[in-house]
Amino acid sequence: MKFVKMEGLGNDYLFLNCLEGEPPELPRLAKTLSDRHFGVGADGLICVKPGQAGDFTMEMYNADGSRGAMCGNGIRCLGKFVYDSGLTRKCCLTIQTDAGPRGLELSVRNGRVAEVTVDMGQAQIDEEVYCQTAAGAFWVTPVEVGNPHGVVFCPEWTEEETARVGPLLEHCPRLGRRRNIEFLTVEDREHLTVRVWERGSGVTLACGTGACASFAAARRRDLCGPKAQVHLPGGSLRVEERENRLFMTGPAHTVFRGETDFLWHSETEN
Ligand SMILES: N[C@H](CCC[C@H](N)C(=O)O)C(=O)O
């Protein structure tokens, strides 16, 4: 089975061309191949399928095999995947996701996609929730950008704290459902710094939907302007609000093309 390893700001995914069929047990395949020791290693798996209501369909799985409704870094990589592999020559695409259609604008340089702008739609922001955890109490702003997020405003935040507090807030019953958790430091009106604990993948170097959720939460408090750079450990994204819709722009890279003759181990082996 052929795959393409791609990444957006170090948030890395395995891409399968499923335009003419798909392997069985995708959740289990995602979990197995995402493992960084026993598999290829990735934050998850993305299947490119034919578009019913759009040019293509994105079916995304986190590293634990759970389904993700939308993936900001992943959809930018999908735009690059389909253009660079000649599956389309269009630079404006509509991609069907579990969260609905998303518009992509591809920036092409030397015949390859260098950068992608995604119409992320409108963010839904709810009232802050007070979450008490074993690591302390936090005010969390629930934000929906096609998938669920919880944004925590903090003066500064470390990777260690992300790994310690993120899973506790992910499962905080007061947040209603498992959420991706962002720890947001507002540097100024044009610069946000974000660390992410991703539902289903853990600490990642970047999260496109999380960057947009953080931007939306900062906008709601008028802590940033209509355009901002969101700085994540893996790099920066540009997020802009136009007519109440969010637009995210950032890079996408192809790391390598591979093939796996992965056969299911018998249940007795693991
Ligand atoms: N873990 C997320 C999906 C991936 C989101 C992230 N990688 C992005 O770039 O938006 C979820 O289960 O909702």
147 CB near ligand 1 (under 6 Å): yes
216 CB near ligand 1 (under 6 Å): no
Same domain, yes or no, for 221 and 145?
yes
> pLDDT tens digit string along 101-115?
999 999 999 999 999
Reference 226, options 250, 248, 210, 242; nearest CA is 242
User: At 30, which CATH number?
Assistant: 3.10.310.10
Structural domains in the chain (count): 2
Same domain, yes or no, for 117 and 137?
no
Of the chain, the percentage scoring pLDDT greater than 70 comes to 97
Same domain, yes or no, for 72 and 115?
yes
Ligand 1 centre and the CA of 266: distance in Å? 30
Is 270's pLDDT higher than 50?
no
Kindly indicate the confidence band of residue 268, based on its pLDDT and cuts at 50, 70 and 90: very low
> Is 207 a residue of the active site?
yes
Residue 264 pLDDT: 54
Same domain, yes or no, for 95 and 166?
no
Across the chain, what does the average pLDDT equal?
Answer: 96
Same domain, yes or no, for 86 and 25?
yes
Kindly indicate the confidence band of residue 262, based on its pLDDT and cuts at 50, 70 and 90: confident
Residue identifier of the C-alpha nearest atom 4 of ligand 1:
71
Residue 53 pLDDT: 79
Same domain, yes or no, for 142 and 103?
no
Ligand 1 centre and the CA of 262: distance in Å? 25
97 CB near ligand 1 (under 6 Å): no
Same domain, yes or no, for 56 and 116?
yes
Is 269's pLDDT higher than 50?
no
> pLDDT tens digit string along 60-80?
999 999 999 999 999 999 999
> pLDDT tens digit string along 205-255?
999 999 999 999 999 999 999 999 999 999 999 999 999 999 999 999 999
Same domain, yes or no, for 135 and 58?
no
Same domain, yes or no, for 32 and 143?
no
In 10-99, which residue ranges form alpha helices assigned H by DSSP? 26-34, 72-84
170 CB near ligand 1 (under 6 Å): no
The atom of ligand 1 lying closest to the CA of 43 is 7
Same domain, yes or no, for 189 and 98?
no
200 CB near ligand 1 (under 6 Å): yes
**DSSP readout, 126-170?**
PPPEEEEETTEEEEEEEEESSSEEEEEE-S---HHHHHHHHHHHH
121-135, 150-164, 192-206, 254-268: segment of lowest average pLDDT = 254-268
Same domain, yes or no, for 73 and 115?
yes
Is 257's pLDDT higher than 50?
yes
In the chain, which residue ranges form alpha helices assigned H by DSSP? 26-34, 72-84, 159-170, 208-220
Ligand 1 centre and the CA of 68: distance in Å? 6
Ligand 1 centre and the CA of 107: distance in Å? 23
Ligand 1 centre and the CA of 268: distance in Å? 32
Same domain, yes or no, for 53 and 40?
yes
**By residue range, what is the domain housing residue 59?**
2-121+252-269
Q: Which one of 77, 131, 172, 207 is the catalytic residue?
A: 207
Which of 182, 201, 215, 232 is the pocket-test mutation for ligand 1 (most atoms within 8 Å of CB)? 201
> Is 91 a residue of the active site?
no
Angle between helices 208-220 and 72-84 (to 10 degrees): 130
